[in-house]
Chains A and B, each alone.
Chain A
Amino acid sequence: MANQTKTAAIVGVAESDQIGIVPEKSALMLHMEAARNAIADAGLTKDDIDGFLTAGYAGYDVAEYLGIHPTYTDSTSVGGSSFVIHIAHAVAAINAGYCEVALITHGQAGRSARSPFGRDPNLPAAQYDTPYGIVGPPINYAMAASRYMHQHGEARTRQALGEIAVSTRKWAQLNPKAMMRDPMTFDEYHNSRWIARPFHLLDCCLVTDAGAAVVVTSVERARNLAKKPVYVLGAAEHHDHSAIHQMPDLTRTPATVTGPAALKMAGVTHDDIDLTMIYDSFTYTVLVTLESLGFCGPGEGPDFIANQRTAPGGSWPLNTSGGGLSYTHPGMYGIFLIVEAVRQLRGETGDRQLDDPKLSLVNGTGGLLSSTGTIVLGVD
């Protein structure tokens, strides 16, 4: 690999013991199972962990439950992009000497939690959005999609959203851990019930119970661990709004900044990427993010992904786990993108394994298209 600075490596990844519908486990228990599994995947022990990163809770709430007493902590919480951003923060901390082995965890009982997960009612959303029923991701993302359709054509956008839903389901059929493994036809997609127009049910991600964790360490330490190191070659983060009404352009996400920046840091181009993992909270999230990352121009996404190009056997693999749409999505899904990218780069994904991929681009999106983190991962 030319011109690639190997700054740190991902050495352990895992999900919780079970993902999907897991009413017998709390969110923190899902964190703990994932942490134990990822540490074991790396060939390390809990006592090796000196850096701890999580989102959605203050770090100490989770670390206490896990029995971890870190000397470096980061609770950066920008929705589903958080964990992709944590990778960059862990790399920086390791290289600055603040920690040597960083653990990133996520757990969410998105479906089965006994109490709801709320936001501060003093934030602007409680004044200006909530009273109008503008609540939750589907309605907000749907409004953004309506604007894309207006600018780039309703029929071709609708077809593109269907292509994404159908191709992602095909990948899920190859993933034993995926929640939705029945085939999906285009007719089923188009006929699924409306949630918030233009979104059908099958434009929307799942709501599951699931945890995942990732272990990052120095390149030197990574050489002597259990699995092939997956190097973090480039990383970038950005956010430009919180509420959807403050988004500068509903058809362009902060990935316009983070995509090119992460690729530049890695010293590679879009064409070098073997596997792209894009947060698919909604089919539209994929379409708008592909364009924002720069894989194609504004409005070109429907042509870029046409004819199941992103499906198994297609020329441009995307979201090979089955994504948030069909594999799992507990609420802040970003960490699961990393888990899949690492497994693909290690050659561990069974029936859905790509042919010797060397480079993966992972993009997490958080909030209401508010935040993105992009990383480029590679193996020797």
Chain B
Amino acid sequence: MANYTLPLPNKQPESDFYWEKAKDHELWLRKCNQCNNAYFYPRNICPSCYSDDVTWIQASGKATLHAFSIVERGPTPAFRESVPYVAALVDLDEGPRMPTNLVNVEIDGAHIKIGMPLEVTFEDVTDEITLPKFKPAS
């Protein structure tokens, strides 16, 4: 953990809560009480209806794979040693889509299929930061 060399999220005031909950191995989303829209990423005003009557909900962690890329060439020097890895967009059961990595899976086209069911898993990359990632549903 001490040797983690990849970029860490640059938290902002409206997302501190999201990352605090990630540290507790929980995935939380913003949801609007006015229009019922659950959305990613966190904003204190609903981007659909502009209400500030928004709350936090804990996501189930269940998702399906929407799109992915097996990255074979690291996009920056920091990621050169990480390849291959799976960049993914996942559709959460609550509605929103989020970017992540697919982990605990054999990295080849035979094992990664769009539409496959996934579940969240948490990677404690430093003492301060935990990244939500996704793995095939058990």
| Interface status of A293 (Cβ within 8 A of chain B) | no
> In the assembled complex, which residues on chain A have CB atoms less than 8 Å from the CB atom of B73?
138, 193-196
The one of B11, B82, B99 that contacts A129, using a Cβ cutoff of 8 Å: B99
A142 to B85, CA, bound (A): 13
Residue of A126, A128, A142, A246 near B69 (CB, 8 A) is A142
B3 within 8 A of A: no
Residue A227 at the chain B interface, CB threshold 8 Å: no
Q: Report the bound CA distance from A99 to B40 in whole Å.
A: 43
Tell me which of A147, A195, A197, A199 contacts B66 (CB under 8 A): A147
CA A198 to CA B133, docked complex, whole Å: 21
Interface residues of A in 120-142 (CB under 8 A from B): 121-122, 124, 126-136, 138-139, 142
Note all chain B residues with C-beta closer than 8 A to A21: none
Would you call B105 an interface residue if the criterion is a C-beta within 8 Å of the partner chain's C-beta atoms? no
Q: Contact: B87 with A139, CB < 8 Å?
A: yes
Whether A144 sits at the interface, judged by CB under 8 Å, is yes
Instruction: Report yes or no: B7 in contact with A130, Cβ–Cβ below 8 A.
Output: yes
Q: Please give, as numbers and ranges, the residues of chain A lying within 8 Å of B129 by CB-CB distance.
A: 131
B104 within 8 A of A: no
Contact A244 B72 (CB under 8 A): no
When chains A and B are docked, how far (Å) is the Cα of A245 from the Cα of B41? 10
Question: How far, in angstroms, from A232 to B16 measured CA to CA in the complex?
Answer: 48
Q: State in angstroms the CA–CA spacing of A134 and B98 once bound together.
A: 12
Q: CB distance B98 to A139 under 8 Å? A: no
Instruction: Known A127-B11, A135-B79; judge A250-B67 contact (CB<8 A).
Output: yes
* A127-B41, A147-B67 given; A132·B87 CB < 8 A: yes
Is the beta-carbon distance between B131 and A126 smaller than 8 angstroms? no
Let me know if A147 and B114 touch, CB within 8 A: yes
Which chain A positions have C-beta within 8 A of B109?
197
- Say whether A196 contacts B69, CB under 8 Å: yes
Contacts of B70 in A (CB 8 A): 194, 196-197
- Is A143 touching B88 in the complex (CB atoms < 8 A)? yes
Contact A139 B75 (CB under 8 A): yes
Chain B 58-95 residues near chain A, CB threshold 8 A? 66-76, 79, 82, 85, 87-89
A150 on the interface (CB 8 Å rule)? yes
Chain A residue nearest to B90 (CB atoms) is A245
B48 at the interface (CB under 8 A from A): no
Judge whether A128 and B114 touch: CB under 8 Å.
no
Considering the chains assembled together, what is the distance between the CA atoms of A132 and B89 in angstroms? 11
Inter-subunit contact A127/B67 (CB<8 Å)? no
B76 nearest CB across to chain A (Å): 6
Give the Cβ gap from A205 to chain B, nearest Cβ, in Å.
15
Instruction: Kindly state the separation between the CA atoms of A246 and B73 in the bound complex, as whole angstroms.
Output: 24
Is the CB of B100 closer than 8 A to any CB of chain A? yes
A311 and B66 alpha carbons, distance in the complex (Å): 33
Q: Is the CB of B97 within 8 A of A196?
A: no
Contact A133 B71 (CB under 8 A): yes
Q: What's the nearest-Cβ distance from chain A to residue B42, in Å?
A: 9
Query: Are the CB atoms of B87 and A245 closer together than 8 Å?
Result: no
With A139-B87, A143-B87 known to touch, is A245 a contact of B69 (CB < 8 Å)?
no
**Residue picked from A122, A127, A132, A144, most chain B C-beta under 10 Å:** A132
Per the bound structure, the CA–CA distance linking A142 and B98 in Å amounts to 16
- In Å, the complex CA distance between A338 and B11 comes to 40
Task: Report yes or no: B67 in contact with A133, Cβ–Cβ below 8 A.
Answer: no
B101 contacts A128, C-beta separation under 8 Å:
no
> 27 A–B contact pairs at CB < 8 A?
A126-B10, A128-B40, A128-B99, A129-B99, A130-B7, A131-B7, A131-B129, A132-B131, A133-B6, A133-B79, A133-B87, A134-B87, A135-B79, A139-B75, A142-B69, A142-B87, A143-B68, A143-B89, A146-B67, A146-B69, A150-B114, A194-B70, A196-B75, A196-B87, A199-B69, A245-B98, A250-B66
* A-B contacts besides A133-B6, A197-B72, 18 pairs, CB < 8 Å: A129-B99, A130-B7, A130-B9, A132-B100, A133-B74, A133-B75, A134-B99, A139-B71, A139-B75, A139-B87, A147-B67, A193-B73, A194-B72, A196-B70, A196-B75, A196-B87, A198-B69, A250-B67
